[in-house]
Chain A
Amino acid sequence: MRFLPAGDAALIVEFGDRVDPALNDRVLALDAALTAAALPGVVETIPTYRSLLVQYDPLEIGAYDALVERITALAVASPEGAAAGAGAAVSRQWAVPVAYGGPFGVDLDEVAARHGMTPEQAIETHLSGDYRVYMIGFAPGFAYLGGLPEALHTPRRENPRSRTPAGSISIGGIQAAVASMELPSGWHLLGRTPVRTFHPGRAEPFLFRTGDHIRFRRIPHDAFEPLAHRAEQGEPVAELLTAAADGQGTT
């Protein structure tokens, strides 16, 4: 674990430099512990794959070294209990509907061919993954997922698209993603979900939290529009299979 300065009002607690569920567990455990501790002057945090950015108010934290000591103590206290402690707060399971291929996933056939599969096999492989939300970033509600089956690991496109549809279910390298809005992307588009992971008018604007688990569920193409309409009205459309013990997680 390293403390890296990020200017005069933020620091980064770095647990490692790899994509690794064990590192992400430690990030989430510290994030939960910091939220619970409500240290004076800590403004907000950004959990990522392998680090936690802590934004602070230099006028409110007291001595900087004391803040670092407190965070260190919280991090040291939490790694063993990371899976159990933070896991209880954040591990939720979602079933997310996806319309694959055709106009919904314009890269499906090409990705399948690249891996010597039929499009159906590629869909089955993507559906077999147990995904984990490693990080939400890039855009509001954009979920970076780990857990893509190795048979589908695919280098990013040489030419990124300047626009991809909201709800795109994509893969890039060893990662997968659920896009929250229309965005530029260099990833391969396998399908689309009617789910809106970010809906500013909904009571809970953001559906997913870092640490959530996701399973994809295939829907027929003609089921997309009705579900998209319900999502527009504020329904989650995705199904919460198991809720967190405290129901709130780390927000």
Chain B
Amino acid sequence: MTGDAVSARGDDGGGGAVLVLRAASPLATVQDLGRVGWQRFGVSVCGATDAASLSAANVLAGNPPGAPAVEFTLDGGEWELAGAPLCRVAVAGGAFAIAVDGRPVASWRSVTLHEGSRLRIGPAPDALRGYLSVAGGFAVALQLGSAATHVRTAIGGLDGRALRADDALPLAGGAAGSAPAGPDRMLDPASALPPRTLPVRVVLGPQDDYFTDEAVAAFLGSDYAVSREADRMGYRLDGPRLAHRDGYNIVSDGIAAGSIQVPGSGQPIVLLADRQTTGGYPKIATVITSDLAAVAQSRPGDRLRFAAVPLAEAHAIHRAWRSRLAGLAGRLTPVRGDLDSETLLTKNLIGGVVDARRA
């Protein structure tokens, strides 16, 4: 399996430098910032469900923010470096329990692996999805202009599928380009990343007029629990039933990221990265770009609450969010050698993020 994956992409310039998935993650796919320009042909955008965290992992690894990285769910499995003496990697998205050859390492930082090193990525208390980046990025063939994987239609990533044990992802930088320049770096997510706080902000529409006034009020005034039907395509929520004025079938129209469609059951579904391009259910509201991560990082049983913002405010929030992401590289700080103080800092960060999420 390993040999196949490498030889199939033997001309990537990597010279056999690979990161091998030794112990599988519950769900790991190659993602970038999504596939642009093909929605008119029914192709889902895909890409990271938490774009800010993917960008952070890449910036930590010294890459452009949208380089192909691995998005994993719950835990990131175990990886081994092969074919390169050194490789800088970075994990972001939450306070994942990371260990390199059994030695604990904080999340939200880069770390340099040696050939044969094992990188173990355990679960995080404050996040569902994390991102693993390597310096120089992964060498994955682009399909329709993007490395993003859509498992449902077998497009992108590694053969259009989720990663499994013994998959080897070639390093685009090869043995030389994956080695670190300068010290490892870290980010303080509390100050560098947009906060993942509740309520989740939405812009009402495009079809809020298909719902009764009571339904709109209930949607904005109630807690909704994340159901077990929650994946990269969408999150079905459990909460007060949202009544349509006249039926729940519309002639299909386009679906934006974060659209909240309400089928006949009256239970809303937030549509995320792997969403279909068109659909025939009325959409009561749309989660704004900056707050998509708060939905995608929640897990079944978590409670969400929504708040409507006017469009002009949504645009202002968007600008601030993008500005924050554009400034990520400027917020990198060198990792200190002192593991104890690093561990302390990590604990503080976990506390801060959890408080914000549960506020």
Q: Report whether chain A binds chain B.
A: yes
New A-B pairs, 19, CB < 8 Å, besides A51-B254, A137-B276: A4-B205, A7-B202, A7-B256, A7-B286, A7-B287, A8-B289, A9-B256, A18-B251, A44-B36, A46-B39, A53-B255, A59-B322, A137-B252, A139-B276, A140-B42, A140-B43, A142-B42, A210-B40, A251-B40
Q: Residues of B contacting A142 with CB < 8 Å?
A: 42
Complex CA–CA separation, A59 to B312 (angstroms)? 13
Residues of B whose CB lies within 8 Å of any CB of A are: 36-43, 143-144, 152-153, 155, 202-207, 250-259, 276-279, 283, 286-289, 311-312, 314-315, 317-319, 322
CB atoms of B203 and A7 under 8 A apart = yes
Is A216 close to B, CB under 8 A?
Answer: no
Is A52 close to B, CB under 8 A?
Answer: yes
Is A43 close to B, CB under 8 A?
Answer: yes
Q: How far is the CB of B145 from chain A (nearest CB, A)?
A: 11
Nearest 5 CB-CB pairings of A with B: A53-B254, A137-B278, A7-B286, A4-B206, A46-B254
CB atoms of A46 and B144 under 8 A apart = no
CB atoms of B318 and A48 under 8 A apart = no
- Residues of chain A in range 162-192 having any CB-CB distance to chain B below 8 Å: 180-181
CB atoms of A58 and B207 under 8 A apart = no
Q: Residues of B contacting A136 with CB < 8 Å?
A: 40-42
- Also in contact, A48 and B252, with CB within 8 A (given A8-B288, A9-B289, A58-B318): yes
Is A17 close to B, CB under 8 A?
Answer: yes
Is A206 close to B, CB under 8 A?
Answer: yes
Q: How far is the CB of A208 from chain B (nearest CB, A)?
A: 9
CB atoms of A17 and B40 under 8 A apart = no
Q: Residues of B contacting A45 with CB < 8 Å?
A: 40
Complex CA–CA separation, A139 to B283 (angstroms)? 20
- Also in contact, A17 and B251, with CB within 8 A (given A7-B314, A12-B206, A44-B36): yes
CB atoms of A44 and B40 under 8 A apart = yes
- Also in contact, A7 and B257, with CB within 8 A (given A48-B252, A58-B315): yes
CB atoms of B256 and A47 under 8 A apart = no
CB atoms of B256 and A55 under 8 A apart = yes
- Residues of chain A in range 45-75 having any CB-CB distance to chain B below 8 Å: 45-53, 55, 58-59, 64
Complex CA–CA separation, A19 to B280 (angstroms)? 12
Q: Residues of B contacting A59 with CB < 8 Å?
A: 318-319, 322
Q: Residues of B contacting A55 with CB < 8 Å?
A: 39, 256
- Residues of chain A in range 120-164 having any CB-CB distance to chain B below 8 Å: 135-142, 144
Q: Which of A9, A50, A141 has the most chain B CB atoms inside 10 A of its CB?
A: A9
Complex CA–CA separation, A181 to B289 (angstroms)? 31
CB atoms of A64 and B315 under 8 A apart = yes
Q: How far is the CB of B73 from chain A (nearest CB, A)?
A: 23
Q: How far is the CB of A11 from chain B (nearest CB, A)?
A: 8
CB atoms of A53 and B253 under 8 A apart = yes
CB atoms of A200 and B144 under 8 A apart = yes
Choose from A18, A46, A49 the contact partner of B277 (Cβ within 8 Å).
A46
Q: Residues of A contacting B256 with CB < 8 Å?
A: 6-7, 9-10, 53, 55
Q: Which of A52, A58, A181, A206 has the most chain B CB atoms inside 10 A of its CB?
A: A58
Choose from B41, B144, B253 the contact partner of A14 (Cβ within 8 Å).
B253
Q: How far is the CB of B358 from chain A (nearest CB, A)?
A: 25
Q: Residues of B contacting A14 with CB < 8 Å?
A: 206, 253
Choose from A43, A48, A180 the contact partner of B254 (Cβ within 8 Å).
A48
Choose from A9, A46, A140 the contact partner of B278 (Cβ within 8 Å).
A46
Complex CA–CA separation, A7 to B314 (angstroms)? 8
Is A247 close to B, CB under 8 A?
Answer: no
CB atoms of B42 and A48 under 8 A apart = no
Is A100 close to B, CB under 8 A?
Answer: no
CB atoms of A12 and B253 under 8 A apart = yes
CB atoms of A5 and B206 under 8 A apart = yes
Choose from B143, B207, B318 the contact partner of A9 (Cβ within 8 Å).
B318
Choose from B43, B258, B312 the contact partner of A7 (Cβ within 8 Å).
B258
Is A104 close to B, CB under 8 A?
Answer: no
CB atoms of B278 and A138 under 8 A apart = yes
| A-B pairs with beta carbons under 8 Å apart, 5 shown | A4-B205, A46-B255, A59-B318, A137-B252, A138-B276
Choose from B259, B278, B311 the contact partner of A48 (Cβ within 8 Å).
B278
